[in-house]
Amino acid sequence: MDRTGRRAFLTTAVVGAVAGCTTGWGRRSPDDGVDGGPPVTEPVLSTEHEPFDVFDAATSGDAAELVDDPPEIGRFDAAIDDPQFVTPTDAGFLEPDSVVFGAVYDGEAKAYPQSILVYHEIVNDTLGGTNLSATYCPLTGSALAFERGETSFGISGKLVNSNLVMYDRGTTTWWPQILSAGVAGPHSGDGLVERPLIWTSWERWRTAYPETQVLSLETGYVRDYDRDPYGSYDPLSGYYSSGPPARPLMHDDERFDPKTPVIAARSGGEPVAFEKDTLREKGLLTVDADGNSYVAVYDEELDTGYVYRNPERTALEYEAGAIVDRNRNSWAAGELPLPSVNAFDAMWFAWAAFYPETAVVPESGV
208-238 pLDDT, tens digit each: 999 999 999 999 998 999 988 887 665 556 7
Length, in residues, of the chain: 366
Q: Mean pLDDT throughout 128-135? A: 97
Please state, as a whole number, how many other Cβ atoms lie within 10 Å of the Cβ of residue 111.
Answer: 25
154/122 Cα distance (integer angstroms):
7
pLDDT, position 267 = 80
pLDDT, position 304 = 97
Please state, as a whole number, how many other Cβ atoms lie within 10 Å of the Cβ of residue 13.
Answer: 22
Q: What pTM value is reported for the model?
A: 0.87
pLDDT, position 234 = 58
125 touches 219 (CB < 8 A): no
pLDDT in tens, 236-245: 567 888 778 8
Is a pLDDT exceeding 90 seen at residue 279? yes
Peptide bond into 176 cis (omega under 30): no
pLDDT, position 34 = 54
pLDDT, position 58 = 81
pLDDT, position 126 = 98
pLDDT in tens, 167-211: 999 999 999 999 999 998 999 989 999 999 999 999 999 999 999
pLDDT, position 73 = 53
pLDDT in tens, 304-317: 999 999 999 999 99
Q: Which helix (H) or strand (E) holds 51?
A: helix 51-58
Specify the range with the lowest mean pLDDT, choosing from 36-50, 99-113, 274-288. Answer: 36-50
Distances (CA, A) of 72 to 167, 240, 336, 362: 11, 29, 46, 43
The residues facing 192 across adjacent strands are 40
Which domains does the chain show, CATH number per domain?
3-195 (no CATH), 261-361 (2.102.10)
pLDDT in tens, 50-109: 777 887 888 765 434 443 444 455 567 899 999 999 999 999 999 999 999 999 999 999
337 touches 239 (CB < 8 A): no
DSSP 243-302: S--SS--S----SS-TT-EEEEEEETTEEEEEEHHHHHHHSEEEEEETTEEEEEEEETTT
Spatial CB neighbours of 7, under 8 Å, sequence gap ≥ 6 = 52, 56
Report the DSSP pairing between strands 99-105 and 261-267: unpaired
Is a pLDDT exceeding 80 seen at residue 5? no
